[in-house]
Structure 1
């Protein structure tokens, strides 16, 4: 039930993020604000429920927290928003089916999961991985016929030739960005699993990860987006997007 609920949240997250990006919000600022708000929210939860935590932070754990911020915020979320700008929420959600397959492959390579080709469970996982990658390739490269068009046939004939090549390039570019983003997020899950065994305090670890993502994404924003106006939040979708990101 938790997993089903989280997928509903993920679908809404794609839509809200897409609208905010189309409204002109910087993808870099959205990442920074989302992780900053997430740091505050999870820090409060960690204080309420894990203040008696006796686990100690070590250099190895702090190193992992740094890479969790790098994989989750800088690479994962930033590239996800970039790919979302070139595609659509439905397309990004569909390609999101790659995450379990990529995570499974990385888990096998990291020897976190055993692969026995003679076992039915391993055969099903391999088949699912092949189908997921095949579906992602099909969605990226295949261009179907329009089902519903709000333009006349005459205008469609004039605009299709000039725009189809650009749209195809944008779709492929966005797909590659999304795939790299999902690879980063899969690596994030693997590293998160390793780190939670070293530091069994999930809320505190989440807060530290968000803090790492906030620092790294803020540095990235300062380098790539020099406009101070990009940080301005209004009482519209630009405020809803990072708040929804916190809940997600």
Structure 2
């Protein structure tokens, strides 16, 4: 396979894995698995896999972590994983896998908005790129509102035999207007928490010596946190039992494929093509999820979910387009500034230059 084609194949695989996560998680919740217990099992399995790998690879660097850095990672895990994913799973249980994947596209837009509030991003409404970024945030919010308040007619599935037969919950719960609205806004708040987690992680990565070490510590901390939450709210221990069915399959899949394979592939793709390229592939997730629901799962998809997903995707691309134009303008401005500095430096007579300035000009040319 040609080198330039690999990132395109990789992002398709990543989004297919994410679509599988939404589909299997929703099926497990419909089959009676508690979202709180599910997250604990998922994080515990991910910790069991990642911990020995990290100990072998990064044993020496772990001693460089101070108590304050560990405390920050603990808070980071609490916000992004324990709170964010628990709320996201509950919202997914109350809506559908299509809504979950549509809301997933709002994360880059919400992340930009939070970064703007923290003055990590700029928003110049007198420029086209600033207007595009502001319009992207508005389109994203409009998409979430449309998903919440307009269900519309359902697109019937082509496969009328459901792959997974829910034991509890099911269509009556999903299609209740009240639970649908509640679930949609829970997904939105979960994405806000996840976006805040992404922004805060940028600061903590400067203090943590390794990305895999940070990931593993978060998994361990979130395992302890999610256990406390699950044991506090799920006193019925029958909710903790899992058979060899879709419940166990979803836990294993999310722990290994989502937290393992997809994160590794995503890190590789970020290194090769950059974050904008990865973010622009997010809409593939909702396409894969809708196709899975209609063709494989035998689940109807509401028109409101599709239209809201389209608005959310449009908001994502609007923000990314604005960011791309802004980056090009910033790069061009820096190049012009550097060229002007070189011209001023060359204009200085050789005899009046310091030795360091003479070396700099010679090296530049």
Give the corresponding residue for 1:97.
105
Give the corresponding residue for 2:244.
235
Task: Report the alpha carbon displacement of residue 15 of structure 1 after superposing the two structures with TM.
Answer: 0.5
Query: Could you list the runs of 5+ residues in structure 1 that have no partner in the other structure?
Result: 151-162
Distance 1:68 1:4, change over 3 A: farther
Give the corresponding residue for 1:32.
40
Contact kept, 8 Å, 2:123 with 2:134, in 1: the verdict is: no
Give the corresponding residue for 2:25.
17
TM-score, normalised on structure 1?
0.86
Task: Report the alpha carbon displacement of residue 97 of structure 1 after superposing the two structures with TM.
Answer: 1.8
1:172 is the counterpart of 2:172: no
1: CA distance, partners of 2:57 / 2:128: 41
1: CA distance, partners of 2:156 / 2:30: 22
Task: Report the alpha carbon displacement of residue 70 of structure 1 after superposing the two structures with TM.
Answer: 1.1
Highest relative contact order (Cα 8 Å, sep 6+), 1 or 2?
1
Query: Could you list the runs of 5+ residues in structure 2 that have no partner in the other structure?
Result: 1-6, 159-171, 259-365
Give the corresponding residue for 1:113.
121
1:68 is the counterpart of 2:76: yes
Aligned match for 2:133, one of 121, 125, 144: 125
**C-alpha RMSD over aligned residues:** 2.4
Provide, for residues 81-113 of structure 1, a one-character-per-residue CA deviation record: whole Å limited to 9, x for no partner.
111111110111112222111110111122222
User: Number of aligned pairs?
Assistant: 237
1: CA distance, partners of 2:241 / 2:151: 38
Task: Report the alpha carbon displacement of residue 242 of structure 1 after superposing the two structures with TM.
Answer: 1.6
Contact kept, 8 Å, 1:72 with 1:213, in 2: the verdict is: no
1: CA distance, partners of 2:55 / 2:121: 34
Task: Report the alpha carbon displacement of residue 200 of structure 1 after superposing the two structures with TM.
Answer: 3.0
Task: Report the alpha carbon displacement of residue 145 of structure 1 after superposing the two structures with TM.
Answer: 2.3
Give the corresponding residue for 1:198.
207
Contact kept, 8 Å, 1:45 with 1:203, in 2: the verdict is: no
1:49 is the counterpart of 2:72: no
Q: Aligned with 1:234: secondary structure?
A: coil
**Greater Rg by CA:** 2
1: CA distance, partners of 2:231 / 2:185: 25
1:88 is the counterpart of 2:125: no
TM-score, normalised on structure 2?
0.60
